[in-house]
Amino acid sequence: MSDVCAIRGDQGRAIRALLERIADKWALVIIATLHTGRLRFTGLRQHIPGISHRMLALTLRKLERDGLVIRTAYAEVPPRVEYELSELAVTLIPHAVALADWAIEHNPDIAARRAEYDEREH
pLDDT over 70 (residue 72): yes
* Whole-number pLDDT of residue 82: 97
Burial annotation 50-86 (CB, 10 A radius, 16+ → b, else e) = ebeeebbeebbebbeebebbbeeeeeeeeeeebbebb
CA–CA distance, 97 with 116 (Å, rounded to integer): 28
Looking at per-residue pLDDT, the higher value among 10 and 91 belongs to 91
CA–CA distance, 20 with 87 (Å, rounded to integer): 20
Q: Which residues contact 67 (CB under 8 A, 6 or more apart)?
A: 86, 88, 89
Burial class (CB in 10 A: 0-12, 13-18, 19+), 21: middle
16 pLDDT tier (thresholds 50, 70, 90): confident
Residues 81-111: tens digit of each pLDDT: 999 999 999 999 998 888 888 989 999 999 9
- How many CA within 13 A on the CB side of residue 79? 6
